[in-house]
């Protein structure tokens, strides 16, 4: 590997890592709204009421503040109707007669806080009720609905629009043990019935998917996105797309936008934060979507980007209703974790809803790693061990290529004196120098690019793993040894207010050792100095990243060190380097290319 290839490899590595971390570093400087000083530490109860029982809203108002303390200061409009709670094995859904919609959904298997027992609640800010009509005069989120019926798995509401159209809203949960639908998915139907003897038109309406908000006070909100699909293409809009931006050197600059509208057909629409998603899948393609920023921290200035959440609504059009005629809008509504293994199940999700994982350009590597890691977790139920076993599996798969590349680097190291002499001999003629080097490589059957493989081969998997970590709910609050949460930093203590994160420091030490024992033939002083700083650069990048990423990289480095020690002890390097004479331009042998030793 000559110095040009070394430089290119290092630049590619740094450019790739810088690209991944750029947006996160930009967001890191933005202040996160603090929790209210008066926030109660008493967790909110999500225990369901008796199935089919309507609970007065006044009683609900006496429930303590939500478990997510960062959101406890949010002003919530008091409910005027009644709340009915239905639940199954995985979710507890609070339905409200205000708008005949879903107030919020508790995910029973996902605690709101590390070590806590209270479930996290989706749409707990109540900025927009889920599946509620948005800004439709006469039929909006405040319109009182009559509770028609409620059973263990179904609730039905009814209201009248303009004294002419009866609107009936039916919600059905997946019962425990029912395999016909995913347990996180709610079936919904809204039926419109014309009460008059004349045709009646119903205006275009929007159904809300709720408001996506950061999962806790440490979440910077960089993963708040809305999305939609027309069945072939998938488009996602991040919260910062609605914010004013100066762009990059003026390119891509845009002002603040109140909303972003996307035309149909819409096969599904979604809102997501880092770990959880809501997905609306209509029976028939919808007419469009509208994405809006929603102020979730009223006491914070508008200049604070993290004072806003992200809301999306799906637009529907109805044909004119004939006299006494009816029309129906049916859909499935998923509210749960961003789990690739779940969302990729074709039995329940038939329109590629797994795209909400947003694995990006390296999605194939992300999916492969996640599937392999999940399989390992089934064998050993610890996500840290699963990461180690996944890393070991990859090292074994690529071992033949690594051995071949390492042998090439060892042979190049033995040719270093001849290569140095050629550069000195043709230092004033770069073209002849390059030709002489290539003929030297050819004579000794060495591929000058062969040594780059060990450095470049892991990069797609590294980028895929990094991207996977941005939205994999499986790793949230997953412990490993001293690590309490693999999806966060592994801070063990603070020194003068500075967090001490062990895994990034361990990875840095491993990188130093790895560089020390790995052959670096033909590297000049400038390149050598640059490489010495690489571990420190990695330390800066990794220090605020999830512990799982540092664990993967540190374990990968340890396995690489083990491989390199074995390779360094191997004597089979192929033919001796003097099997063929070095040749200069024109194929003539080069004589006395090695400078004599100074006396």
| Model confidence pLDDT, tens digit, residues 378-397 | 999 999 999 999 999 988 88
| pLDDT at residue 503, as a whole number | 95
| pLDDT at residue 402, as a whole number | 78
Average of per-residue pLDDT across 213-231 = 84
DSSP classification of residue 132: -
**Cα gap 353→82, rounded to integer Å:** 33
| pLDDT at residue 288, as a whole number | 95
Q: Which of 286-295, 427-436, 468-477 has the highest mean pLDDT?
A: 286-295
CB atoms within 10 A of CB 255: 7
**Cα gap 38→203, rounded to integer Å:** 44
Q: Are 457 and 449 in contact (CB under 8 A)?
A: no
**Coil vs helix vs strand at 249:** coil
Q: Is the pLDDT of residue 330 over 90?
A: yes
Q: What is the pLDDT of residues 262-305, one digit of tens each?
A: 998 999 999 999 999 999 999 999 999 999 988 888 787 777 77
| pLDDT at residue 108, as a whole number | 96
Q: Which CATH number fits domain 54-355: 3.40.50.300, 2.70.98.90, 2.30.22.10, 3.40.50.720?
A: 2.70.98.90
Residue 190's φ and ψ, nearest 5 degrees, are -115, 120
397 is written with which tokens? 């798969």
**Cα gap 336→184, rounded to integer Å:** 6
**Cα gap 210→525, rounded to integer Å:** 58
Q: Which of 196-205, 239-248, 445-454 has the highest mean pLDDT?
A: 196-205
- Label residue 48 by pLDDT band (50, 70, 90): very low
Q: Is the pLDDT of residue 78 over 60?
A: no
Q: Is the pLDDT of residue 580 over 50?
A: no
User: How many residues would you count in the chain?
Assistant: 599
Task: Determine whether 537 is exposed, middle or buried from the number of CB atoms within 10 Å of its CB (0-12, 13-18, 19+).
Answer: middle
Q: Is the pLDDT of residue 64 over 80?
A: no
Query: What crossing angle do the helices spanning 416-425 and 430-443 adopt, rounded to 10°?
Result: 150
- Label residue 524 by pLDDT band (50, 70, 90): low
| pLDDT at residue 348, as a whole number | 82
Nearest Cα to Cα of residue 224 among 153, 296, 289? 296
Provide the Cα torsion 273, 278, 284, 290; round to 10°: -50
- Label residue 454 by pLDDT band (50, 70, 90): low
Nearest Cα to Cα of residue 549 among 401, 374, 366, 380? 366
More confident site: 36 or 474:
474
| pLDDT at residue 450, as a whole number | 64
Q: Are 225 and 275 in contact (CB under 8 A)?
A: no
**Cα gap 582→502, rounded to integer Å:** 49
- Label residue 63 by pLDDT band (50, 70, 90): very low
| pLDDT at residue 435, as a whole number | 86
Q: Is the pLDDT of residue 586 over 80?
A: no
| pLDDT at residue 327, as a whole number | 93
Q: Are 212 and 125 in contact (CB under 8 A)?
A: no
What pTM, to 2 d.p., does this model score?
A: 0.78
Averaged confidence pLDDT in the chain: 79
Q: Is the pLDDT of residue 74 over 50?
A: no
| Percent with pLDDT over 70 in the chain | 77
Q: Is the pLDDT of residue 70 over 60?
A: no
Q: Is the pLDDT of residue 406 over 60?
A: yes
- Label residue 596 by pLDDT band (50, 70, 90): low
Q: Is the pLDDT of residue 190 over 50?
A: yes
| pLDDT at residue 66, as a whole number | 39
Q: What is the pLDDT of residues 353-363, one digit of tens each?
A: 999 999 988 88
| Percent with pLDDT over 90 in the chain | 40
Average of per-residue pLDDT across 588-592 = 51
Q: Which residue has the tokens 């560089």?
A: 515
Q: What is the pLDDT of residues 83-119, one digit of tens each?
A: 999 999 999 999 999 999 999 999 999 999 998 899 9
Q: Is the pLDDT of residue 11 over 70?
A: no
Which residues, 6 or more positions from 179, have their beta carbon under 8 angstroms from its beta carbon?
none
Domain coordinates in residue numbering, the chain:
54-355, 379-569
Q: What is the pLDDT of residues 525-538, one digit of tens each?
A: 666 667 777 888 88
Contacts of range 358-362, beta carbons closer than 8 Å, 24 or more positions apart: 358/225, 358/227, 358/236, 358/272, 358/470, 358/471, 359/464, 359/467, 359/468, 360/467, 361/463, 362/460, 362/463, 362/464, 362/467
| pLDDT at residue 525, as a whole number | 62
**Cα gap 108→121, rounded to integer Å:** 9
More confident site: 471 or 246:
471
590 is written with which tokens? 């080069």
**Cα gap 88→91, rounded to integer Å:** 6
Q: Is the pLDDT of residue 180 over 90?
A: no
**Coil vs helix vs strand at 367:** helix
CB atoms within 10 A of CB 3: 14
Q: Are 123 and 105 in contact (CB under 8 A)?
A: yes
Q: Are 577 and 414 in contact (CB under 8 A)?
A: yes
Q: Are 269 and 227 in contact (CB under 8 A)?
A: yes
**Cα gap 308→590, rounded to integer Å:** 70
Radius of gyration of the chain (CA): 30
Chain CA centroid to CA 312, Å: 19
């Amino acid at each position: 590997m000559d110095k040009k290839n070394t430089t290119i490899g290092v630049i590619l590595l740094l450019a790739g890592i810088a690209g991944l971390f750029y947006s996160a570093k930009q967001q890191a400087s933005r202040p996160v709204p603090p929790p209210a000083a008066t926030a109660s530490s008493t967790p909110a109860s999500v225990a369901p009421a008796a199935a089919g029982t309507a609970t007065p809203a006044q009683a609900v108002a006496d429930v303590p503040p939500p478990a997510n303390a960062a959101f406890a200061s949010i002003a919530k409009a008091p409910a005027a109707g009644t709340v009915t709670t239905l639940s199954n094995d995985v979710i507890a859904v609070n339905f409200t007669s205000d708008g005949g919609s879903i107030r919020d959904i508790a995910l029973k298997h996902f605690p709101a806080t590390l070590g806590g027992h209270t479930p996290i609640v989706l749409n707990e800010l109540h900025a927009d009720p889920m599946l509620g009509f948005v800004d439709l005069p006469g039929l909006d989120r405040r319109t009182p609905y009559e509770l028609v019926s409620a059973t263990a798995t179904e609730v039905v509401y009814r209201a009248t629009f303009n004294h002419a159209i009866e609107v009936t809203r039916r919600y059905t949960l997946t019962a425990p043990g029912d395999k016909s639908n995913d347990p996180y998915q709610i079936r919904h139907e809204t039926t419109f019935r014309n009460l008059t003897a004349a045709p009646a038109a119903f205006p275009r309406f929007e159904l809300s998917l709720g408001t996506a908000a950061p999962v806790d006070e440490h979440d910077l909100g960089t993963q708040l996105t809305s999305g939609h699909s027309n069945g072939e293409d998938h488009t996602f809009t991040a919260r910062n797309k609605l914010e004013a931006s100066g762009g990059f050197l003026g390119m891509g600059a845009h002002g603040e936008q109140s909303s972003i509208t996307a035309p149909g057909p819409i096969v599904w629409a979604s809102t997501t934060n880092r770990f959880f998603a809501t997905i609306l899948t209509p029976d028939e393609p919808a007419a469009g979507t509208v994405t809006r920023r929603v102020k979730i921290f009223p006491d914070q200035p508008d200049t604070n980007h993290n004072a806003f959440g992200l809301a999306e609504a799906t637009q529907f059009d109805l044909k004119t209703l004939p006299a006494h005629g009816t029309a129906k809008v049916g859909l499935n509504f998923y509210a749960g974790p961003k789990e690739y293994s779940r969302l990729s199940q074709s039995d329940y999700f038939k329109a590629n809803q797994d795209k909400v994982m947003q694995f990006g350009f390296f999605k194939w590597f992300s999916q492969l790693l996640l599937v392999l890691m999940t399989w390992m977790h089934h064998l050993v139920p610890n996500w840290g061990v699963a990461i180690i076993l996944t890393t070991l599996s990859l090292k074994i798969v690529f071992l033949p290529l690594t051995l071949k590349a390492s042998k090439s680097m060892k042979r190049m190291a033995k040719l270093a004196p001849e290569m140095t002499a050629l550069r000195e001999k043709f230092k004033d003629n770069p073209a002849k120098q390059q030709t002489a080097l290539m003929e030297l490589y050819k004579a000794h059957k060495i591929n000058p690019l062969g040594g780059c493989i060990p450095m470049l081969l892991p990069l797609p998997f590294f980028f895929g793993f990094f991207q996977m970590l941005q939205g994999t709910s499986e790793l949230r609050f997953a412990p490993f040894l001293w690590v309490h949460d693999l999806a966060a930093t592994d801070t063990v203590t603070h020194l003068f207010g500075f967090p001490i994160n062990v895994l990034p420091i361990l990875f840095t030490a491993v990188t130093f050792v790895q560089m020390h024992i790995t052959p670096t033939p033909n590297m000049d002083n400038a390149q050598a100095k640059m490489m010495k700083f690489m571990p420190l650069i990695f330390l800066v990048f990794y220090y605020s990243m999830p512990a799982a990423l540092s664990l993967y990289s540190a374990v990968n480095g340890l396995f690489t060190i083990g491989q390199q020690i074995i390779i360094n002890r191997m004597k089979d390097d192929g033919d001796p380097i003097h099997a063929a004479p070095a040749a200069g331009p024109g194929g003539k042998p080069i004589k006395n290319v090695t400078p004599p030793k100074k006396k």
